[in-house]
Amino acid sequence: MGRYLLRRAGASLVVLFLAAVVVFAGVRALPGDPALALAGEERDPESLAAIRAKYGLDEPILVQFWNWLTLALQGDFGESIRTGIDVTDILLSKLPITIELSVLSVLVAVVLGIPAGVLAAVKKDTWIDHTSSGIALFGLSIPNFWLGLMLILGLAIYFPIFPASGYVSPLEDPIGNLMRMVLPAFVLGTAFTAVVMRQMRSAMVESLTADYIRTARSKGLGEFTVVASHAMRNSLITVTTVVGLQLGALISGAVVTEQIFVIPGFGKLIVDAVFQRDFPVIQGAIIVTTAGYILVNFVVDIVYSLLNPRIRITGAAT
């Protein structure tokens, strides 16, 4: 197990390094000279040269990459070109907002999706199955940004139950924070719920017809024990992987959800920075998102191998 862990950790680091290369190269490939963008009105050669020297833009590209990487590893992503604020400070102030939104929407997905999936599988081909599968299909087919607009229209404008947009810190106003997070978390969690439910259902349907379930039943175990401890444990393996695969979609979803509900989180930061050509912010935000995503996937892999010993053994053997 230790070797497997090490191997996975090493692989994750390689991916992270490659991602850093891609992000750095990608940002450098953006059209337009950042020095020109920084200079604003003053475009005489001296001030341009001064700006290039200040931001290290006149160094060879590999030197620039090395400088950026070594500083980034120390948590220093430079300053925002637009506001002059430390990028790390910006990221740290935005990160909790997006994490809160993501955690709440995963919560929505798990709390609604797993029981619905289990119930649909146990009651396969009954009206319960058809109804929950139908709702899941709707959830999967609704574009979440449109759902967001419609919910704002319905539950914030016509029936003003929730605030239409904005954000307050849970430390200042916990109730106000939750009220503002209900609609975004629901919007972000809808498709996720549908995916979890469908995966859980199909995994459970398969588990419930397996030999070991028949054995468990023939041993005289109660139906609840068979479903909850035997079939569910195996089905959760599939669902764990799916949850891991969906996290990228969740981050993408957060970008648009934050745009619609005007939540000043990570997603909004990235989109705004791209439109403002704020290179240090783009680099910092994308690399932190990517690192977070790689970390989560690493954890998912570990959980997966703990749940499924076969993977662990073959993984360690090769």
CA distance 2 to 181: 40
Phi/psi at 80 (nearest 5 deg)? -65, 135
CA distance 312 to 5: 9
Taking the complex as a whole, how short is the minimal distance between the CB of residue 15 and another protein, in angstroms? 5
Q: Which of 147, 154, 182 is nearest to 167 (CA)?
A: 182
Assess contact for 271 and 255: CB atoms under 8 A. Answer: yes
Assess contact for 213 and 245: CB atoms under 8 A. Answer: no
CA distance 221 to 218: 7
Catalog residues that contact another protein under the rule CB under 8 A: 11-12, 14-16, 18-19, 22, 26, 29-31, 137-138, 140-146, 149-150, 152-153, 157, 245, 247-252, 255-256, 259, 267, 270-271, 274-275, 282, 286, 289-290, 293-294, 297, 318
Q: Which of 232, 243, 141 is nearest to 192 (CA)?
A: 243
Taking the complex as a whole, how short is the minimal distance between the CB of residue 24 and another protein, in angstroms? 12
Nearer of residues 218 and 318 to another protein, judged by Cβ: 318
Nearer of residues 232 and 288 to another protein, judged by Cβ: 288
Taking the complex as a whole, how short is the minimal distance between the CB of residue 104 and another protein, in angstroms? 18
Nearer of residues 45 and 266 to another protein, judged by Cβ: 266
Taking the complex as a whole, how short is the minimal distance between the CB of residue 218 and another protein, in angstroms? 22
Token pair listed for 102:
């993501």
Nearer of residues 19 and 179 to another protein, judged by Cβ: 19
Taking the complex as a whole, how short is the minimal distance between the CB of residue 33 and another protein, in angstroms? 14
Kindly report the CA angle at 173 between 168 and 174, in degrees rounded to 5? Answer: 100
Nearer of residues 1 and 153 to another protein, judged by Cβ: 153
